[in-house]
Amino acid sequence: MGLAERRRALGYSQEGLAHALGVDRRTVGRWETRETAPQPPLRPRLAELLQIDLDELDALMGQPQAARQGSTGSPPCDHLGSGDLDDMIRRQFLRAIAVTSALVAVSADESAALVDGARRGMPDDFLRMNGHLWQVYQLARAKGSVYPIVRDQLSALNDTLDGKPESETRGLCSAAGDLFQLAGELAFDGNRYTDAAASYTLAASASKEAKSYDLWACALVRHAYVDLYDRRYVDAIGTLSAAEKVARRGDSSLSTRHWVASVQAEAYAGLGNLAACERALDEAEKVTDLSGLAHNGGWLRFDGSRLAEERGARYLQLGRLDLAEKALTSALNQDVFASGQSFRRRGAVLTDLASIGAQRHDPDQALTYGREALQLARATSSGYIARKLQRLRTDLGPLAHDARVVELGAEIDALCTT
C-alpha cells in the first residue's frame, strides 16, 4: 500500500489531507508520486493523520529510515511545502545572504554609510519596484495573478545579491525583506501556509540583517498570522511579543507597533481573554494620533481604516454578537468598501456578518451576507475569503433544516474543494 491508498482508505481527499497539514494540495500529489518527500517537521503530524508510526510512514513512502534523519543521499525533501521553483529561490537567497552576517556588528556610523551607498545603486531600484508590486497586489482582484511577477523579481534580486560587496548588501537585504513579505502574502492567500511561513521567516532574517526594525517587526506579525490560522494562539502571542520589542526600536512615527497590537487582540480573543483583547484594541486605535504618513502602502499598510472591522471580528470571536454586528456594519459602510477597493476585506466582513446571523439562528441574515461573500470568493479566487467561508460552514450547522442554507453550504464545500 502506498500513501495514496492509505489516504483514501482513511477517507481523506488530497485537499483534505493538505488542509490538515497546512500545505498545498499539489504537495500531497508530489509525495504520492514520490517526486518529493515530506519535510521532517511535517512527518509526525502526517503519521498521526494516517494512524501509523514514523517507521511505517517510511515504509509506506518507500523511503529508508536514514532519509528521515537527514542523511546524505536521501531523497529530495519537500523542504518548504512546494519542492518547486519557490524552494530553489529561497535556498539561493539563504546562500547569498550568508556572506552578510558580519554586517550585524558594524557601528551606527558605518551602518549609515552603507545604507547611503546602497541607495545610490541597485537596491533603491528594487525598493521602487517592490513598492509598485505592492500596489498591483492590492488592486488585483485575483491576487494569484501577481505571483509570476513577484517570483521573477525574487530571482532577479537573488542574482543581484550573489557576489555583491558588503557596501551594497544591506540595501539589498532590505529589498529582500520587503519582497519576501509580499511572496508570503501571495502564498497565504493561496492556502500555501508552509510556503507563507518560509517566506515570512526569510523576510524577518533579511530585515534583521538590514537592521530595518519596522520591516522586521512586520515580517514577524505576518508569521504570527500562520499560527492564528491554525489557532495556535499561545505561539502567536510569543511571536507578537518579539515583534512588539523589535517595533520599539523602529520609527515611532510609523504605525508598526499599533499593527502589532491589533494582531495581538486577535490572539487574545482566540484565548477568550476579553480584557487583554480590548487593551490591545485600544492600543491599536492610537494609530489615529500619529501625524503625517504613518505607513508606506506596501509591507506596512495599517492606518486605522480597519479598526471597525478588526474590533467587530474580535467581538465575534468572543461571542459578543451585538457589539460585533455594530462594529462590522459600520465597517461595511466605509468608503474603502463602497468604492470596491478591497474585495478581500469586504468578503471577510460579509462572512462575519453571516456568521452572526447563523449564531442567532437567523437564516435570512446568514444567506444574504453569505451569498455575497461567496460571490466575492469566486470572483477573486481568494483563499482568505474561502477560509472564512469554511468556518461559516460550521456555524450553518444548526440551520440545516432550511433548504436554502443546505444549498449555500454545498456551494461553500464546492468552492473549497476546487
- Per DSSP, helices labelled H in 120-212 are 122-139, 147-161, 166-189, 193-210
H or E element at residue 77: strand 77-78
Nearest to 300 by CA among 238, 253, 245: 253
CA dihedral sign, ordered 223, 229, 230, 233 = positive
Give 170's pLDDT tier (boundaries 50, 70, 90).
Answer: confident
Residue 272 has phi, psi (to 5 degrees) of 80, 20
- pTM of the predicted model as reported, rounded to 2 decimal places: 0.66
Burial of residue 16, with CB atoms counted within 10 A of its CB: 0-12 exposed, 13-18 middle, 19 or more buried: middle
What's the rounded Cα separation, in Å, for the pair 155 and 137? 18
* 230 phi and psi angles, rounded to 5 deg: -85, 5
Residue 343 is predicted with a pLDDT of 83
244 backbone φψ class: left, alpha, beta (φ>0; ψ -120 to 50): alpha
In the chain, % of residues over pLDDT 70: 80
Does the pLDDT at position 207 exceed 50?
yes
Domains in the chain (CATH in brackets) are 3-67 (1.10.260.40), 91-211 (no CATH), 321-418 (no CATH)
Contacts of 304 (CB under 8 A, 6+ apart): 255, 258, 285, 287, 288
Question: What pLDDT band is residue 79 in, cutting at 50, 70 and 90?
Answer: very low
Residue the block writes with cell 548588501:
169
Half-sphere exposure in the Cβ direction for 207 (13 Å, CA):
26
3-state secondary structure of 254: coil
Mean of the pLDDT values across residues 406-416? 88
How many whole angstroms separate alpha carbon 190 and alpha carbon 196?
Answer: 9
Could you tell me the sign of the dihedral formed by the alpha carbons of 364, 370, 375, 378, in that order? Answer: negative
Q: Please report which confidence band the pLDDT of residue 83 belongs to, taking 50, 70 and 90 as the band edges.
A: very low
Contact 221, 254 (CB under 8 A): no
Q: Kind and range of the H or E element at 37? A: strand 37-38
Residue located via cell numbers 502567536? 236
Mean pLDDT of 69-80: 36
pLDDT of residue 126: 75
